[in-house]
Amino acid sequence: MDALCGGVPNSRTSKDSHNVSSDNQTDIQAETTVEAPEVTFADLGLSQKVLSAVHDAGYVNPTPIQAGAIPHALQGKDVLGIAQTGTGKTAAFVLPMITRLEKGRARARMPRTLILEPTRELAAQVEENFVKYGKNHRLNIALLIGGVSFDEQEKKLERGADVLIATPGRLLDHFERGKLLLTGVDILVIDEADRMLDMGFIPDIERIAKLIPFTRQTLFFSATMPPEITKLTEQFLQAPVRIEVSKAASTGVNIVQRLVKSKSKGWDKRETLRKLIRAEEDELKNAIIFCNRKVDVSELFRSLVKHDFDAGALHGDMDHARAWPCWRHSAKAS
């Protein structure tokens, strides 16, 4: 889950050269290190209401993506943010959006801002961030995701949405039903763009972008920049400020990667996995295990439960009622 976290202090090295010359002396270079002041959220231009919510959450220093993106987002500039998941990029767009939304009001069926997410779980995480950091504001937030009743979502749209968070497919469903107008969107956020590409959502995003005023501000975030994503940025962004906090396709610095050998049969792999979990039992509080196929998810889930592990299962064929409790339990555990 994206979250605010302490930033890394910035430092710079200045070289003060003092030349000493005489018949028997050579130039001597004296090098001193000067620590630059830490950047705080109060330095970024956020409103007092937002700063109060951030302070109540226990955060003082922004992460690099937050420090880089927030001032430009507040100025209404397009932003291209390249950052891994877990770097705090959600707050990099949530905080400036809340500040900018302090002026104006929503109208029925005409959201003021739109955030596109590839999955309903990510969309729900973004909603939680708006609730957390917008607690001093009266923001109307609408969440349009699959597996939830259209009627409930339409009621929220009718009340007027300051913030509309949606997956592309469900958003277009509402638009085609005549329940949604996008001509009032001032800020468009495209999050996890490379995952959108992997999931085949790019045609939907291109269609949605054409329904939104050309004068909008666009905040575009991606962990990697394959050629297809670069082409999208050229299409959607106008003179963007590029904020890159990690090399494209690099692994987050707080992630340790290991390759474990196993026999090829499914039951051999599951046994190897159980041994790995038990070996880390003292330090391992929770874990997410990804499988290549939905059937593998079901098989692994049954195996873990059979061997007395507290496990849940999530995949695309599960309806919201079955998937959501497992997701909420995992989010709270983390």
Over range 101-113, report the average pLDDT.
94
pLDDT digits (tens, 9 = 90+) for 38-81: 899 999 999 999 999 999 999 999 999 999 999 999 999 999 99
Separation in Å, CA 282 to CA 22, 54, 276, 288, 330: 66, 33, 12, 17, 19
Torsion-angle region of 222 (φ positive above 0: left; ψ -120 to 50: alpha; else: beta): beta
Question: Under 8 Å CB-to-CB from 297, ≥6 apart: which residues?
Answer: 291, 313, 314, 315
pLDDT digits (tens, 9 = 90+) for 4-28: 444 333 433 333 333 333 344 434 3
Q: Tokens for 141, please give them.
A: 């937030």
Domain ranges in the chain?
41-244, 266-333
pLDDT score of 283 more than 90: no
Give me the residues paired with residue 31 across strands: 15
Residue 219 CB coordination number (10 Å):
26
pLDDT digits (tens, 9 = 90+) for 119-155: 999 999 999 999 999 999 999 999 999 988 999 999 9
| Closest alpha carbon to 136 in 47, 74, 69, 61 | 47
pTM above 0.85, yes or no: no
pLDDT digits (tens, 9 = 90+) for 153-163: 999 999 999 99
* pLDDT classification of 320: cutoffs 50, 70, 90: low
pLDDT digits (tens, 9 = 90+) for 146-186: 988 999 999 999 999 999 999 999 999 999 999 999 999 99
pLDDT at 247: 54
237, amino acid identity = L
Burial 231-247 (b: 16+ CB within 10 A, else e): ebbeebbeebbebebbe
CATH of domain 41-244: 3.40.50.300
pLDDT digits (tens, 9 = 90+) for 28-47: 344 444 445 689 999 999 99
- Long-range pairs, 149-155, Cβ under 8 A, ≥24: 150/174, 150/177, 154/179
* pLDDT classification of 294: cutoffs 50, 70, 90: confident
pLDDT digits (tens, 9 = 90+) for 301-311: 999 999 999 88
